[in-house]
């Protein structure tokens, strides 16, 4: 079976926001150690799946293969800046089979609409960094429900993911990382 493990990457603040009220990536979430961790995840992946806004606000300097989610296209379209995909017209496995028939890891840096559409239950792992002691009023949530007070931890648990131990990516600047994984993968890992 061709395998497309989905690995999400995000950094949130205390109130589980990934962006400010206008959808911009705010300075309070910028951190060099998180950026390096995120980039190493993208390097491991065969493709990066992101929402159209995230695609447009993050230049593709390393020319990685991108799959951009948008309602503006029909099914799956190849463009100079990557593959554009409309999930209402083509399933994700079918789209991936067209682009990377050999399989491979899919890195998913969001944003919120992508995380909502795929749902926590679809991820093999969710790499969640957190900038502690900071909040973004009326910001864009990791998931939509986070904007009305549902903690991201609850959404990830409900999706069948379990947290690994919390580690500091940057202790001085209070940025931590928790990798949430599907239990089956943990069991596989522990039997190796
Ligand atoms: N802190 C973090 O870790 C993190 C992670 C990701 C992003 N961000 C930041 O968040 C901001 C952007 O994120 P965002 O949540 O606003 O937007 P986004 O998820 O990146 O993109 C939203 C776009 O996705 C498309 N879309 C949404 N639902 C769809 C559906 N059901 N079917 C097809 N297409 C759909 C739409 O594109 P069309 O309008 O073209 O139809 C929509 O405008 C940026 O500033 C980015 O840097 C931060």
DSSP the chain: -----EEEEEEEETT-EEE-TTS---GGG--HHHHHHHHHHHHH-SEEEEEHHHHHHS--TT---EEEE-TTSSSEEEETTEEEE-TTTS-HHHHHHHH-TT---EEEEE-HHHHHHH-GGG-SEEEEEEETT---TT-EESSGGGGGT--HHHHHHHTTEEE---EEEETTTTEEEEEEEEHHHHHHHHT-
Q: How far apart are CA 130 and CA 60, in angstroms?
A: 24
**pLDDT of res. 189:** 47
Q: What's the gap between Cα 1 and its chain centre?
A: 24
Atom of ligand 1 nearest to the CA of 113: 19
Residue nearest to atom 12 of ligand 1 (CA): 54
Question: How many Å lie between the centroid of ligand 1 and the Cα of residue 90?
Answer: 18
- Report whether residue 70 contacts ligand 1, using a CB cutoff of 6 Å: yes
Pocket test for ligand 1, best of 13, 16, 18, 27 (most atoms within 8 A of CB): 18
**pLDDT of res. 2:** 77
**pLDDT of res. 187:** 46
- Report whether residue 140 contacts ligand 1, using a CB cutoff of 6 Å: yes
Q: For residue 106, give the nearest of 96, 116, 98 by alpha carbon.
A: 96
Residue nearest to atom 37 of ligand 1 (CA): 70
pTM of the entire predicted model: 0.95
- With tokens 């589980």, the residue in question is 16
**pLDDT tens-place values along the chain, 192 residues long:** 779 999 999 999 999 999 999 999 999 999 999 999 999 999 999 999 999 999 999 999 999 999 999 999 999 999 999 999 999 999 999 999 999 999 999 999 999 999 999 999 999 999 999 999 999 999 999 999 999 999 999 999 999 999 999 999 999 999 999 999 997 655 444 443
């Amino acid at each position: 079976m061709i395998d497309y493990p989905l690995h999400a990457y995000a950094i949130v603040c205390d109130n589980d926001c990934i962006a400010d009220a206008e959808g911009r990536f705010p300075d309070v979430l910028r951190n060099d150690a998180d950026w390096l961790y995120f980039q190493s995840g993208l390097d491991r992946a065969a493709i990066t799946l992101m929402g159209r806004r995230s695609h447009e606000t993050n230049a593709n300097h390393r020319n990685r293969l991108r799959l951009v989610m948008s309602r503006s296209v029909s099914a799956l379209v190849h463009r100079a800046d990557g593959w554009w995909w409309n999930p209402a017209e083509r399933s994700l496995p079918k789209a991936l089979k067209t682009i990377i028939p050999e399989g491979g890891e899919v890195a998913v840096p969001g944003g919120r609409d992508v995380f909502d559409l795929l749902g926590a239950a679809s991820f093999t792992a969710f790499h969640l960094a957190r900038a502690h002691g900071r909040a973004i009023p009326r910001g864009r949530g990791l998931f939509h429900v986070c904007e009305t007070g549902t903690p991201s931890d609850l959404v990830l648990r409900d999706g069948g993911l379990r947290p690994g131990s919390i580690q500091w990516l940057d202790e001085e600047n209070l940025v931590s990382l928790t990798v949430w994984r599907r239990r089956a993968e943990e069991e596989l890992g522990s039997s190796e």
